[in-house]
Every structure is written in C-alpha cells, then in structure tokens.
C-alpha cells in the first residue's frame, strides 16, 4: 500500500473518531441540560466507542469515597450477569478496573491469556485459551479517581495508542458529565433532605406525647435512610441503662424492651461518649456487641448510630442497621445526626411535659389535701386560688375569698412582707393575725414563697394556726413570772434568817449544826442565783434593754470573780492563769450581769477540767470598739457538732465525769453578751480542751455623754 493510500485511511479514521467524539459530546450535553438519567446514557456513550473500535463489549464502573462499587454498567451486548458483592470486591481488589482506579492511569493489555492483570469473567472460562485485547481508562476529577471504563476485543494487540486516546477523551468527557450529574443529584438530594427534615421537625414537634414523637421519628428515618432496621433507645437514669423503646424493620418486635448497660456495645459507646459512630463492617469493630442479634436472630453487618443530647444531657441513641442500597455513607451519618438533634428537642419537651403533668397532679393533690390553709395570690395581693382548708378555716366561700386580697384577711396593723422583692427560691416566715368572717382573730405563722402557676408565678401563703401555742406560751410566761417573783421574797427571808442564825451561833457550837447551816446557806444562794438567771433570761428574750450600764474596769471585776470561785479551784488544785494587759481599756457594761457571765464560764471550766491542771483567762483589745475575753480549760473539749446548740436553754454538756445542771448558765451568757452588742462562741483551746470567747464594747467618752 502506498503512502497516499495510508494517509487516506488515517484521515478517514481520524474523521470517524471526531464524529464519535461529537456524538458523545451531544449525548452528554443532554445529561447536563435536562438532567437525564446518567445510568441510561453512559452505556450508550461508550457503545459508540465500542462500535468505532469494532470491539466486542465493555463495562463502566463507578466507586464511592470508601472504594466500594457504587454503579456498574455493561457497554455492548454482553451483560454483566454476576452482580454479587463478592464479584464487585474481586473486581476492585484483583481486576483490571480496580488497578486503574487505584493508580489513576490508563492500561492496554495486548493478550489477556498472558497478563495477570485481567480477571476473567465467569463465561470466559470456556474460552480461557482465547486471547483478548483490553483497554481501561480512569474517570478522574483532579487527583481523585471515581471510576473506570473497560473495552474488550478478540485477538492479540488489537488496540493502539490512538484507540486509547479516543477512549481517554471519551472518559474525560464522561467524567465531567458524571460529576455534574452527581452535583445535581446531590443538590436535589440535599433539597429533599432539607424539606424532609423541616417536615420531620414540624411533625415531631407537633405532639407532646413521647411515644408519638418516637413513632414519627421512625417514619422520618425510614423515608430518608432506607435501612433494614431502625430503632430508638432512651436512657434509664436510675439504672444507667439504654432501653430500646421503639423499632421498625427486621427484628423490631424482639428488640423493643432490650436493656443494655451504658458501657456495652456500640450504642453504649455512643451514649457514654456522646459521639456519633459509623461502622461499615461490624465484624471489624470491637465496640460492636451482638447482644441485640442474639435476641433477634438477625445479623447486623453495618450500623450508624447518633446520640440524642439536650443541653449537654444524653437522652438516648438513635441507630440504623444494614443499608438496603449499597452502604451507609458519611452523608447518611450526618443525616442521622440531624434527625437525632430534632428528636432530642422533641423528646426532651415531651419528657418535661410528662414530668410537669405528674408534678402538677401531685401538687394539686398536696394543695387540696393539706391540713394547713393555703392561698395563692398574685404579686399585687389579689387572691387567685385557695384550698379547701382555707375556706373552712377562714369561714369564707370560694367565691367570697376570690374577691378579696391578702391584706383584707389580716388585721389593719399587720406588717406584711414585700413579696415583689422575694427571691425565686427564698422562703419568708412571719407571724400575724388574720380575721375570720365571723370577726375572730386567729394567730398564724405564715410561710410565703414564689411558686409556678401555668405560664406565670404566684405567691403561695401557707397559714399555720398557732393560737393554742400563743395561748399556752402566755400562760407559761405568766406562771413563770409569778413563781419567780413569789419565790424571791420568801427565799430572801430564808437567806436573811440563815445569815442571822450564823451570826448568833456561838463559835463553839456543834460542828454538825454549823455544817448544816452552811449547806442551807449555799443551797439557798444557788437557788437565788438560778431564779435571777431565769428572770434575766425572760427579760432578755423579751427584748428588754439593759439598764444601768457603766464604765467597768475589767481587772478589778476579774479580781472580784476570782474570790468568788476561789474555793472551787483550790479544792480541785487547779491553777488559774490570768493574761490581762495593764493598759487594757475599760468596758461598757452592766457590771453585775457580766460578773455572772464570768462566774458561769469559770465554773464550767472548773467542772470540766481534770484535777491539778490549768485554766487560762485571756483578755485583749480585739479592735477599736471591743475587748475579746477567752477562758480556756484542759478538759475533754466540746464536739464541733454541739457548738451551735450548747448556748440554748436547757442544753447540758454531758461528760463521763459531769452531767449536772439545768442548762441555763450558757443560755444566760449568750443573751447577756448579745444584749451588750457582743458575740460569744466556743472553739478548741490551744493545748486541748474548750475555749469560750466573747466580746464586750469598750468604754468611750461618747457613752458618758449618753448616760448623762
């Protein structure tokens, strides 16, 4: 053949190839123009190349980001009969298309019988000795390979570089069309997902019934994810377990009610970590446990799971198992996360609504059945509601009471709290008198606090009838005062008579008689001191001010007290140590009352100190206005739990060695010190034992002017 004929043939082939490229371009333009189905047009496109190259057949394969077969189509009259997962896996791992996809470079095989890169099809086994020529080119977007096109032709060395260039050119055109089609499909998918998510949100949040919420959730999941099985599990906070509440699909009836520990399985891991999980192959993931499969008899191959969280609290998990089409993608997981977020809010609202209903029901029961009258009023005082006890207690009908205000119920001089200034969780307690419908005044102790009421807040007024307590307290005070005053006069006569008797008895009198008189004198004196303490306690508790306060030199007062308690500490061989600075300022006090405070504290120190040890008396200026006095012993000390109560009336300090007394001494000390504007407390002594501390005001010239 001469050169001219060769040139003519080559020109004709080039023309045919250009015509083929034009046809391909025209078909692919239809895809981009009107969104025609890519799966129908791609095989048509590559059939043009098959015919142009007089090939037998071919195939097209597309893969996803996980290197898994997404689509596979035949190009020609030889269909792909084997479409099993194993066949696709073999193609990608051992076949020519998989090699081209992995490396992104085109390949020509001159003889399929001698080239190991070719994986024979099942129907090729009968003619395995026949040689085939094969070409394969990748679909590439930048550096990413998304698939490959393969063409076969019987015989050896049937393809050249010009043939490969034609296939590559068509593949490049197809790649752009594939990517554009994918982008269009993705945009449509996202639009559909967005619409479905909006519908899901609107539908799911349309009810406050938690079972309805979860059933609607499953329906939305089924529409979007196309899984073989889907389920929702909620956290049981008491047992810290996941409990499967609702499910659809294979094994759904068996899975409902299953309880999993928080640290068990993939769902447990998602719950514990509050992190979504995507497991394409459960057999290769140690987090997966087949407890659910054991219960249902169903095999979980792939799974996506997302936590349902609300304000940082994990409510449960939502999971989809085994995709019906292909595999779960990261997009599917993101979709599940979005669904979980929608479900979380709806489930939290439903749970809160349920709890609110229960709480309201419980509150209504407690409100109506309370033995105390309860009134609900707004912040202006208008009565909004009341319980049955309030109507009976005050004598008003419901209609009458709801026309009144809180102020209408109280005596005119009553001082009511400013409820507008009350903090949300604070409780105000005060005593008052209310006037019943019949005019009777009733003493009440009232507890007020803010309480939710529907969408707003009201003030709750709880009334406790204390009329009997008031009456009994007044009777007790009257009786006590009468006894104290009636006892003082005869007791004074007894003490005077004993003093006269002591004076008149000769020095050589019977020792037994003298001892008996002495016992009577000391007992009478102690009784007189007790009565004076009770009278002072009553007066101080009633808030009566201290009279006859004056300038008192502490050093002189302590000397006097020392002489009083001297017999007690000498008998016990206890050493008294005084640390009083010479320049210590004078105090401003009622001298006799503070003397008794000192005597009480020193007597206690002596009582609770072992023999032959020390008691220390310290005094120093605490600040510009107060003197700090401390009395320390070396006894057993006072437990911290008792330090706030020992200053109450009739509280005694009991030890293994001493438990006598009425428990009035420390109560008197507290009232006397506080009435002077000071403070009193107890702590540990430096060397062990107890240390009683109290403060008294310093004398100032301004107080002299006030006295005068």
State percent of the chain over pLDDT 70.
78
DSSP 192-233: HHHHHHHHHHHHHTT---HHHHHHHHHHHHHHHH-EEEEEEE
H/E run at residue 134: strand 132-141
Is the separation of the CB atoms in 690 and 684 below 8 Å?
yes
* Helix, strand, or coil (residue 239): coil
Question: For 409-438, what is each residue's pLDDT tens digit?
Answer: 999 888 888 888 888 778 888 889 989 999
CA–CA distance, 577 with 453 (Å, rounded to integer): 65
Judged by phi (left if over 0) then psi (alpha if -120 to 50, else beta), residue 293 lies in: alpha
Which of 19-28, 313-322, 366-375, 645-654 is the most confident on average? 313-322
Query: Higher-confidence residue: 141 or 509?
Result: 141
pTM score, whole prediction: 0.38
Neighbours of 168 (CB within 10 A): 17
| Res. 527: pLDDT tops 80 | no
pLDDT of residue 5: 45
Comparing 233-247, 525-539, 691-705, which segment has the lowest mean pLDDT? 525-539
Half-sphere exposure of 63 (CA within 13 A, CB side): 26
**Other beta carbons within 10 Å of 143:** 6
Predicted local confidence at residue 597, as pLDDT: 92
pLDDT-derived band of residue 564, with 50, 70 and 90 as boundaries? confident
Check if the beta carbon of residue 234 is closer than 8 Å to that of residue 254.
Answer: no
Using only the alpha carbons of the chain, give its radius of gyration: 50
Comparing 92-106, 157-171, 326-340, 345-359, the range with the smallest average pLDDT is 345-359
Residue 563 has pLDDT above 80, yes or no: yes
pLDDT at 632: 92
CA distance 634 to 613: 7
pLDDT at residue 49 in the model: 81
The pLDDT of residue 624? 86
Rounded mean pLDDT, 534-559 = 82
Q: In what side-by-side order are the strands of the sheet with 277-279? A: 259-261, 241-249, 227-236, 313-323, 303-310, 277-279
Contact predicate 386/373, CB 8 Å: yes
Q: Which range (165-179, 190-204, 550-564) has the least confidence?
A: 190-204
The rounded distance, in Å, linking the Cα atoms of 283 and 272 is 21
Position 698 scores a pLDDT of 94
Find the helix or strand (DSSP H, E) in which 38 lies: helix 38-52
List, for residues 221-260, the tens digit of each pLDDT value.
776 778 888 888 888 888 888 888 888 888 778 888 888 8
The token duo for 633 is 């012993």
Residues 304-318: tens digit of each pLDDT: 999 988 888 888 888
Would the pLDDT of 10 be above 60? no
The answer to whether the CB of 636 falls within 8 A of the CB of 608 is yes
Strand pairing of 690-697 and 680-684? antiparallel
Nearest alpha-carbon partner for 606 in 669, 676, 690: 690
At 628 the pLDDT is 95
Q: 3-class DSSP state for residue 202?
A: helix
> Of 148 and 209, which is predicted with more confidence?
148
Q: CA 587, CA 285: separation in Å to the nearest integer? A: 82
pLDDT at 701: 72
Eight-class DSSP state of 421: G
Q: Rounded mean pLDDT of 320-328? A: 80
- Owner of token pair 């977007």: 141
417 by Cβ neighbours in 10 Å (0-12 / 13-18 / 19+) ranks as middle
pLDDT at 341 over 60: yes
CA nearest 58: which of 139, 150, 155, 168? Answer: 150
φ, ψ of residue 470 in degrees (nearest 5): -60, -45
- The answer to whether residue 661 scores a pLDDT higher than 50 is yes
505-517: average pLDDT = 77
Tokens of 526: 């102690």
Strands (E), 4-111: 57-63, 69-76, 107-109
Residue-wise pLDDT for 591-614, tens only, equals: 989 998 998 899 888 888 888 788
DSSP code of residue 284: G
Tokens 């509440």 label which residue? 245
Which pLDDT does position 657 carry in this prediction?
47
Best CA proximity match to 135, nearest among 174, 87, 168, 86: 168
Question: For 294-302, what is the mean pLDDT?
Answer: 83
Beta pairing, strands 259-261 & 277-279: unpaired
Q: For residue 435, give the 3-state DSSP assignment.
A: strand
Choose between 196 and 326: higher pLDDT.
326
If DSSP codes are grouped into helix, strand and coil, which group holds residue 98? helix
The predicted pLDDT at position 697 comes to 94
> How many residues does this entry show for the chain?
708
**C-beta separation of 246 from 256 below 8 A:** yes
pLDDT digits (tens, 9 = 90+) for 108-120: 999 988 888 887 7
CA distance 693 to 443: 39
User: Mean pLDDT over all residues of the chain?
Assistant: 79
How do residues 360-397 score in pLDDT, each as one tens digit? 555 565 566 677 888 888 998 898 888 888 888 888 99
Quote the pLDDT of residue 692: 95
Burial per residue of 561-598, b for 16 or more beta-carbon CB atoms within 10 angstroms, e otherwise:
beeebeeebeebebebeeeeeeeebbbbbbbebbbbbb
pLDDT of residue 191: 66
**pLDDT digits 0-9 by tens, 473-489:** 777 666 666 656 666 66
705 has a pLDDT exceeding 50: no
Confidence (pLDDT) at 9 = 45
If one counts every other C-beta atom within 10 angstroms of the C-beta of residue 527, the result is 14
- Of the listed ranges 118-122, 340-344, 567-571, 642-646, the one predicted with least confidence: 118-122
HSE toward the beta carbon, residue 387, CA cutoff 13 A: 17
Task: List pLDDT tens digits, range 439-469.
Answer: 889 898 888 888 877 777 888 888 888 888 8
pLDDT at 1: 45
Strand partners, 458: 451
> Is 50 exceeded by the pLDDT of residue 125?
no
- Contacts by residues 365-373 (CB-CB < 8 Å, ≥ 24 positions apart): 370/462, 372/462, 372/463, 372/464, 372/465, 373/462, 373/463
**The predicted structure's pLDDT at residue 658:** 44
């Amino acid at each position: 053949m001469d050169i001219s004929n060769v040139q003519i043939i080559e020109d004709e082939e080039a023309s045919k190839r250009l015509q083929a490229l034009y046809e391909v371009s025209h078909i692919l333009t239809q895809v981009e123009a009107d969104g025609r189905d890519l799966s129908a047009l791609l095989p048509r496109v590559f059939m043009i190349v098959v015919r142009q190259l007089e090939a037998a057949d071919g195939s097209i394969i597309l893969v996803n980001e996980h290197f898994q077969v997404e689509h596979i189509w035949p190009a020609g009259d030889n269909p792909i009969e084997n479409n099993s997962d194993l066949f696709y896996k073999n193609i990608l791992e051992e076949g020519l298309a998989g090699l081209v996809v992995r490396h992104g470079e085109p390949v020509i095989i001159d003889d399929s019988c001698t080239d190991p890169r070719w994986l024979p099809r099942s129907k090729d086994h009968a003619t395995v000795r026949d040689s085939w020529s094969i070409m394969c080119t990748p679909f590439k977007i930048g550096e990413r390979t998304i698939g490959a096109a393969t063409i076969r032709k019987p015989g050896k060395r049937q393809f050249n570089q010009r043939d490969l260039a034609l296939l590559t050119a068509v593949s490049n055109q197809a790649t752009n069309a594939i990517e554009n089609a994918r982008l269009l499909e993705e945009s449509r998918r996202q639009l559909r997902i967005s619409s479905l998510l909006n519908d899901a949100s609107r539908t799911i949040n349309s009810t406050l019934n938690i079972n309805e919420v979860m059933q609607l959730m499953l329906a939305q999941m089924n529409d979007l994810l196309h899984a073989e099985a889907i389920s929702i599990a909620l956290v049981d906070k008491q047992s810290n377990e996941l409990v499967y509440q609702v499910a659809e699909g294979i094994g759904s009836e068996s899975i409902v009610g299953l309880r999993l520990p928080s640290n068990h399985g993939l769902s447990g891991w998602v719950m514990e970590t509050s992190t979504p999980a995507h497991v394409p192959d459960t057999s290769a993931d140690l987090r997966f446990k087949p407890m659910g499969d054991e219960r249902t008899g169903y095999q979980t191959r792939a799974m996506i799971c997302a936590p349902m969280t609300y304000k940082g609290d994990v409510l449960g998990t939502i999971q989809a198992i085994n995709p019906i089409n292909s595999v779960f993608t990261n997009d599917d997981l993101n979709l599940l996360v979005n669904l979980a977020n929608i479900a979380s809010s709806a489930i939290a609202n439903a749970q809160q609504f349920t709890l609110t209903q229960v709480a309201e029901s419980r509150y209504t029961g407690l409100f109506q059945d309370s033995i105390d009258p309860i009134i609900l009023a707004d912040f202006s005082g208008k009565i909004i509601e009341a319980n049955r006890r309030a109507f009976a207690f005050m004598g008003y009908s419901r209609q009458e009471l709801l026309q009144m205000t809180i102020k209408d119920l109280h005596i005119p001089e009553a001082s009511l709290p400013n409820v507008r200034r009350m903090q949300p969780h604070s409780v105000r307690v005060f005593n008052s008198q209310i006037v019943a419908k019949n005019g009777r005044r009733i003493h009440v102790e009232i507890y007020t606090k803010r309480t939710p009421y529907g969408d707003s807040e009201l003030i709750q007024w709880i009334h406790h009838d204390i009329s009997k307590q008031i009456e009994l307290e007044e009777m007790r005070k009257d009786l006590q005062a009468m006894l104290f005053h009636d006892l003082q006069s005869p007791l004074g006569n007894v003490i005077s008579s004993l003093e006269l008797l002591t004076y008149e008895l000769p020095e050589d009198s019977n020792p037994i008689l003298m001892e008996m008189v002495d016992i009577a004198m000391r007992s009478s004196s102690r009784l007189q001191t007790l009565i004076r303490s009770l009278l002072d306690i009553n007066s101080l508790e009633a808030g009566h001010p201290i009279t006859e306060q004056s300038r008192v030199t502490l050093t002189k007062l302590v000397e006097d007290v020392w002489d009083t308690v001297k017999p007690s500490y000498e008998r016990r061989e206890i050493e008294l140590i005084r640390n009083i600075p010479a320049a210590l300022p004078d105090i401003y006090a009622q001298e006799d009352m503070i003397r008794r405070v000192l005597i009480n504290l020193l007597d206690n120190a002596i009582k609770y100190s072992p023999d032959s040890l020390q008691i220390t008396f310290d005094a120093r200026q605490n600040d510009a206005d107060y003197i700090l006095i401390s009395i320390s012993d070396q006894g057993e000390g006072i437990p911290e739990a008792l330090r706030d109560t020992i200053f109450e009336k009739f509280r005694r300090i009991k030890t293994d060695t001493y438990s006598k007394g009425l428990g009035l001494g420390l109560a008197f000390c507290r009232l006397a010190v506080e009435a002077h504007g000071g403070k009193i407390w107890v702590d540990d002594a430096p060397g062990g034992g107890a240390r009683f501390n109290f403060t008294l005001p310093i004398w100032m010239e301004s107080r002299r002017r006030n006295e005068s």
